[in-house]
Amino acid sequence: MRNKITIIGAGNVGATTALYCAIKELGDIVLIDIIEGMPEGIALDMSQVSSMLNFDVKITGSNDMCDMKGSDIVVITAGLPRKPGMDRLDLLKKNADIVTNICENIKKYAPNSIVIVVTNPVDTLTYLTMKLTELPAKHVIGKAGVLDSARFAYFIAEELNISIRDVSPMVLGGHGDSMLPIPRLTTVNGIPITDLLPKDKITAICERTKAGGAEIVKLLKKGSAYYAPGAATATMITAILFDQRRILPCSVYVDGQYGLSDLYIGLMTTVGMKGVEKIHEIKLTDEELKELHQSAEVYKKSIKDLGY
């Protein structure tokens, strides 16, 4: 029996995630959306690509939440996208209502699944998902750091005019303006980028990484990024279903790590078939630790805004 992956929200991010998962043959895929006919149409179109891209999994679309029953992985992408000028936290109240309804159905139909939250603001909504589904914290993971690190890596490779394959980036903190790229621990084939780039260039790249999503939103004018978010989500799903035990930056529940507790924030984690198997506490400088705590304060406040 193949793994079952349910993606709730068949918009650009959900559909792109589904296609990447299909190409990797990670399992049978169910796309669920409230728009009548939309997930079915996307699933049919995607299925007709299978002979050309050489994958053999079943892709179905549905408007009924009960079709997530028995899922190994549930991905939440449903929600409103950012518009130019909006911060991820501007979406909090509206998307929290959407996620609340989804969580009730996960609890009912897929209580043994591992849930990956993509909907923004992801760190806060991952916390909400953990609370409402009552799943173990290690089974509820936010997609954030994998995407932010990928953007960081791309900007570094572009600046140095080198292969991106040699770049190993590190980004901690929340998925927003308060995220924390760590240049001294970001390397090019083992060489710290602090040895390869001047400070002003590194600062500019870090700032561009923090605004990576906003830059795309501004260019698109309608909607937000989906190719890279979809690939980041598929990377996490692969690590879980293949029990790869990869060390990935994810939004995870902290319970004392770095002096933080009772919130979700991006940290380096070992990800495998049990979900978050370990949170790695890296030795940070005093300034880096201060910035991580400043990032956490943003999400502490937004959690309070939701009444927790």
Q: Which residue is catalytic, options 139, 175, 280, 293?
A: 175
Q: How many CB atoms lie within 10 A of CB 66?
A: 11
Would you call 139 a catalytic residue per the annotation?
Answer: no
String of b and e for 219-242 (b: at least 16 CB within 10 Å)? eeeeebbbebbbebbbbbbbbbbe
Structure tokens at 41: 């149409």
Whether cis (ω within 30° of 0) applies to the bond prior to 198 is no
- Would you please indicate which residues are annotated as catalytic (active-site) residues? 175
